[in-house]
Structure 1
Amino acid sequence: MDRDVPRAPWLRRLPSGVWTALAWCAAGQLALLLFMSTTFELAPPLGLRHPPSVAGLALRAALAVVLALPVCWARRWPTQVFGVLLAEAAVVLLLGERTWPLFMAMDVLIGYLAAVRPGRVSIPAGLAEFAFWLVDLAITRRGAVTTGDVVSSAVAFAAGIAIPWAIGNSVHQQRRYSSDLRAYAARQAITVERLRIARELHDVVAHSIGVIAIQAGAASMVLDVEPAGARRALDAIDATSRETLAGLRRMLVSLRHAETGADDPPIAVPLAGLEAVDRLTATMAQAGVEVDVQWRGRARPLPPEIDLAAFRIVQESVTNVLRHAGADRCEVHIAYHEEELAIDVIDEGDGRAPDRRTGGTGGTGYGIAGMRERVALLNGRFSAGSRPEGGFRVAARLPA
């Protein structure tokens, strides 16, 4: 099954060491920016004003490295690193140095926070950065700018925070949507598989148990007066039981094959199809219901899922005749049309299942629902209901 798992995006396939190296590179770039912004000042025409001493350069370089070092752990602890950068910006501001490199780092970190943390974390972080920028503006410029300059600068700075946050939040929402979609698909797959197993169990077991119950009741009634009849009933029970075990074995093999995802399933008897209708007719005859099967059209090979569904519909319908209709015969019409397979099962019962030698066998009511689900999954048409002239009719049309 491993080959069925889609490959992760290439960014997720990168080893952790690559991300660590990238974090250290980002820290190095921030350290360089801090060093350059706090050390050199350009003077016209593009010269350096007041170059510091060698000792001053070394001290500033060391401070820049210390200030940039927390970025190395931003991927693991982004919220804590953002708080450290905000505190560092406050220290740099009190020292009278430029803080814009730290603001750039915090903008990037806001985008990462929005991608990996909920909004209740990333939004307050963005607001805290913007509030600190207002304090920075008030301290460094002290009324040297007009109201228009403040407004335009505030808009630009807010955009510098909002754009990374919007990108990160979009990534966060896409990840959450993908996760929810995968969970929904998994739940749907489980539900579909449960319904499929329920249908197979119902079709395999309910039919056979109904026949066995009737034959057992018949055997108990004639055991003393007609031993030969009791023997025939016991033989029918034996044959039906073996057929049921074979059907369960086929179903388990199919389920195990689907679970392992093997290309070649284990050798097993193929699932029942319309070729098993004759055996079904003989079984029902032993149970006391005559099934008149009428074939129309030219028979042709059917897709396995169509063939199985067609047989299950016939099996469930004639089983319902045995258990519920109170009729001794029914008709099964199977017609091969050009683009579909038509199945009609008709009985003339009164809908009141008599004791039929067993005191009756109550049903679960899942048979018709299961047939309707089978047909719907194959994009066919299904109907079941009483006929005006009496009796019951099940009709299915399967694309084939």
Structure 2
Amino acid sequence: MTTTGEDHIGAGGGPWWWPRWRSALLDISLAAASAAECAADGVQFSRDAGLPVPVGTLFGLITGVTLLLRRKWPVAVVLVSIAITPAQMGFLMGVVGLYTLAASELPRRIIGALAGMSFVGMFIVTYVRAHQGLVRGDLSIAGGFIPFLSVTTALGLTAPPVLLGMYVGARRRLMESLRERAHSLERELMLLAERAEERAEWARNEERRRIAREMHDVVAHRVSLMVVHAAALQAVARKDPEKAVKNAALVGDMGRQALTELREMLGVLRSDEAAPVRPARATALPAEPATAAVALVPVVDDSAEGPCLAALEELVGQSAAAGMVVNLSVEGDTRSYTPQVEQTAYRVVQEALTNVHKHAAGAKTHVRLAHRSEEIAMQVENEPPPEPGPAAAVRLPSGGNGLVGMKERVSALGGVFVSGPTDAGGFRVSAVIPAQAA
């Protein structure tokens, strides 16, 4: 930045210290006018001082050309104008120099000191010249009017350029601050847009994982039971037709239940497509400034109708009907919770039972549910599987996402999930979820 507060333009700028060519042309024109004025005044100065006229003219030309430096060294230009004030030349240089000085970024005390020096110099010169003219008879004014004339002349040649320069400098600084602020806001908006895009992508991925968990829980459990019943049906079809008929009916019931749950889920997704978007929750994202934008993405309502703890006995009964030896124990006073808590607790037990069907068919299983004051706990533990039988010989496919999905569900509600083998050779799945009363 130059001393006048103007910005440099790197590519395509003006010559030397000028920011642009039009500024250089303006200063050259002002310097030419100042040189012509000083050269003309130098003729009278050389006569008054008893010097040859060419000397006075050359002196005026040299001092007038210094106005070219007003943008680079405004202090020097003002000092030169003050120095030649007794010679009654350089009035244009003084006015332009004071304006440039006041518009610059120099400290106000320097500007005030130089403006005061210019005022005093102009006042003294005007007073002396007016007194000399009054003595010679060139002026026909009262002697008491000379101080007023001197003050008025000095103020007229110093105050307007200083005030105008201060106004232009303040306006230029204001425009520069507004421009910088606009650039910073533009950069901030770009960052916020990038952040919003990241949050939208995060929300979409979270929604995909949530739907994948729901689809896995709905399909895996029902289909696993259907496969187990189908295997048992194949084994007893000829030996016990009545039991085969019963197993076939169970397979049909479970298939219909699976289809019903799938239709409900797809119905929620389709209805959500036409629903207006709402801000996606971003609790899993790092903290952001208050000015951060919120990504708008479609989110499926977690409170939609789904399984609840009241259907837990039916879930355990279905596994028992498939040949699993399973018992359910409930501790504490039964009460209702928010849909998210009840669905999560149900899905944990459902997936744990599904894993028993897949990996430990025929093993005795214990399901425990505990209602506590501030949390709800569930545990599914199976004993080591028995010798492989007809039902245990069925190999069920596993995607390896069941335990991961259960942990994600429980962690999303602020709970704790633990799973792993037991010392007796079985497997245990435990989860504790903060109790959020309905």
**TM-score, normalization: structure 2?**
0.56
Decide whether the 8 Å contact of 1:326 with 1:352 is kept in 2: no
- Contact 1:288/1:328, CA 8 A, preserved across alignment: no
Deviation digits for residues 260-304 of structure 1 (CA, Å, limit 9, x no counterpart): 4489x9xxx931111111111121112111221100000111101
Q: Which residue of 2 aligns with 1:22?
A: none
Deviation (angstroms), 1:126: 10
Following superposition, the deviation at residue 311 of structure 1 comes to 0.3
1:370 aligns with 2:405: yes
Gaps of 5+ in 1: 1-99, 111-122
| 1:239-266 Cα deviation digits (max 9, x unpaired) | 1001111211222233334444489x9x
Instruction: Identify the residue that residue 357 of structure 2 maps to in structure 1.
Output: 322
SS in 2 for 1:143: helix
Q: CA RMSD in A?
A: 3.6
Aligned with residue 19 of structure 2, among 112, 126, 130: 130
User: What is the percent sequence identity of the aligned residues?
Assistant: 30
Give the AA of the match of 2:339: P
Deviation, 1:148, is 2.5
Report which of the two structures shows the higher radius of gyration computed on alpha carbons: 2
Deviation by residue 1:60-111 (Cα, 9 ceiling, x = unmatched): xxxxxxxxxxxxxxxxxxxxxxxxxxxxxxxxxxxxxxxx9xx99xx9xx9x
* Counterpart position of 1:271: 306
Code of the aligned partner of 1:338: S
What pairs up with 1:336-347 in 2 under 5 angstroms?
A: 336-347=371-382
Tell me the residue number matched to 2:222: 208
Partner of 2:426: 391
Describe how 1:255-294 pairs up with structure 2 within 5 A.
255-261=269-275, 270-294=305-329
The alpha-carbon deviation at position 225 of structure 1 amounts to: 2.4
Deviates more, 1:350-359 or 1:175-184: 350-359
Q: Which residue does 2:66 correspond to in 1?
A: 143
Q: Given the alignment, which residue of 210, 222, 226 partners 1:196?
A: 210
What is the distance in 2 between the residues matched to 1:150 and 1:176?
43
Q: Which runs of 5+ in 2 are unaligned?
A: 32-64, 77-100, 107-168, 279-299
Alignment of 1:54-203 (within 5 A): 130-132=19-21, 135-136=24-25, 138-140=27-29, 141=31, 143-144=66-67, 145=69, 147-149=72-74, 162-203=176-217
CA positional deviation for 1:160 = 6.9
Q: Distance in 1 between matches of 2:188 and 2:386?
A: 55
- Give 2:281's aligned residue: none
Deviation at 1:205, TM superposition (A): 0.2
- What is the aligned partner in structure 2 of residue 237 from structure 1? 251
Give the aligned residue type for 2:251: I
Query: Contact 1:323 / 1:353 at 8 angstroms: preserved in 2?
Result: no
Change in CA separation of 1:387 and 1:397 when aligned onto 2, cut-off 3 Å: same
Q: How many corresponding residue pairs?
A: 279
Structure 1 residues 288 and 380, CA, compared in 2 at 3 Å: closer, same or farther?
same
Are the counterparts in 2 of residues 214 and 356 from structure 1 also a CA contact under 8 Å?
A: yes
